[in-house]
Amino acid sequence: MGGILENIGSGLVVIDQAETIIVLNPAAEHLFEVPADGALGRKFRDLDVSYRIDGLRARIEEVRTTQTHAQMQDVVFARRAGDTMHVSIRIAPLFDERRRPTGIMMCVNDMRTVSQLRDELDRLAEQSATANEELQSTNEELETTNEELQSTNEELETTNEELQSTNEELETTVEELQSTNAELTTLNVELERRTTDLHRLEAFERSVLNAIGPALFVIDPSLVVTNWNAAAARLWGVSTEGAVGRDFSSLPSERLVRVAREPLQRVIATHGTERLTGVPRAQVDGAQVDGSVTLDLIPILSAAGELLGVLGAVREGAGEIRGN
C-alpha cells in the first residue's frame, strides 16, 4: 500500500476527524512544498497552504458537514518557489466499516500541462487571426498593385509567390491547431483514466484495511504511527484514532512500547527483519493478561532501497489470553 501511495502521480493528503494529517505522499509534498516528516501529525490548518489556496478550508468544512464529495477545478496558487500552480482538487469523506466518518482525503492533480496547452491554443488562435488580417491586407495591397502595375508581369509573379507562401503558412497553422486539438483529446482521456484509477485505489485501500484479520501497524522512519488496524486496537487497547499520528514511544500501551521500541529502532537502522516473541497484550476487562503474541517487524523499502517505514504484523495463532 505504501509503495502505491509513494509512486502515484497525484498528490494525496488524508486528515482525520481532528484535522490531523495522517497521510502525505511525495507528490503532495512537491505540490505543497511541505515535507511529510514536518507535516504528519500536525493540524492541516497549521500549514500555510491551507490559506494560500482560496476557498480550500471552506470546501473541506463543507465535505465534513455534508459527508459528500466536492471538486475544485482550475485552482491557481503561488508556491514559495515563485512558480504558479494550476491544479484540480477532489475532496472526499472517509468512513470505517460501520460508515462512521473517519476523516477526509484530498486528491490533488497538477493541471499545468492542460493550462499550458490552453495558453498555446490561445496563442495559435491569435496567430491565426493575425495571419488572416495580414492576408486581407495583402489582398488589398495586391488590388492596388494590380491597378498600378498592370504592365509589370514580373512583379505580379513575385506577388503571387508571396501569396502562395502565406497560404502555406496558414495551412501549417491549421495543421498545428488540429494537432493541438488531438493532444487535448488524448489528455482528457488520460485524465479520465487517472480519475478512475484513483477511485479504484480508494476502494482498494478501504477494503484492504477492513479485511486484514491479524493485528497490523505501520511506523514511519521517524517512529510516527501511520497505520493501526482494528485488530491492533483490540489487541493492545489503543484505538486507531488514538494511535495514528502519534510517536510510537508515546502510545498508552506501555507494555508494547517497552518491548518493541528498541527492535523498531534496529530495523530502521539496519533495514533487517526482527521477530519478537512474548509480546504482551493489553488488559482485558481490567484483568492483567499473561498471554503474549509473536510480532514480526518488517522494513518497507522503495524500489531504490530507501526505507519507507516498518510494518508490525502479529502472527496468527501465536499466543493466548489468560486472566489472573
Spatial neighbors of 12 by CB under 8 A, at least 6 apart, are 5, 23, 24, 25, 27, 28, 105, 106, 107, 108
Pair 11, 27: CB distance under 8 Å: yes
Q: Which CATH architecture has domain 216-314?
A: 2-Layer Sandwich (3.30)
What's residue 31's pLDDT? 87
CA distance 248 to 219: 7
Pair 108, 77: CB distance under 8 Å: no
Place of cell 490552453: 118
Q: If you count them, how many residues does the chain have?
A: 324
Q: Where do the structural domains in the chain lie, given as residue ranges?
A: 2-110, 114-186, 216-314
What's residue 80's pLDDT? 80
Does 216-314 match 2-110 at the fold level?
A: yes
Q: Residue 254, class by beta-carbon neighbours within 10 Å (0-12 exposed, 13-18 middle, 19+ buried)?
A: exposed
pLDDT (tens digit, 0 to 9) for every residue of the chain, 324 residues total? 556 667 788 999 999 999 999 999 999 988 888 898 889 999 999 888 888 888 999 999 999 999 999 999 989 888 887 888 899 999 999 999 999 999 999 999 988 766 666 667 778 778 878 878 888 888 888 688 778 848 878 885 888 899 899 889 989 888 998 988 899 888 888 978 886 875 576 446 535 754 678 999 999 999 999 999 999 999 999 999 999 999 999 999 999 999 999 999 999 999 999 999 999 987 555 555 567 899 999 999 999 999 999 999 998 654 443 333
CA distance 149 to 146: 5
In 220-305, DSSP assigns E strands to 225-228, 274-280, 292-301
CA distance 44 to 92: 15
- 2-110 to CATH, choices 3.30.450.20, 2.30.40.10, 3.40.50.1580, 3.10.580.10: 3.30.450.20
What's residue 93's pLDDT? 96
What's residue 81's pLDDT? 76
H helix or E strand, kind and range, residue 200? helix 153-211
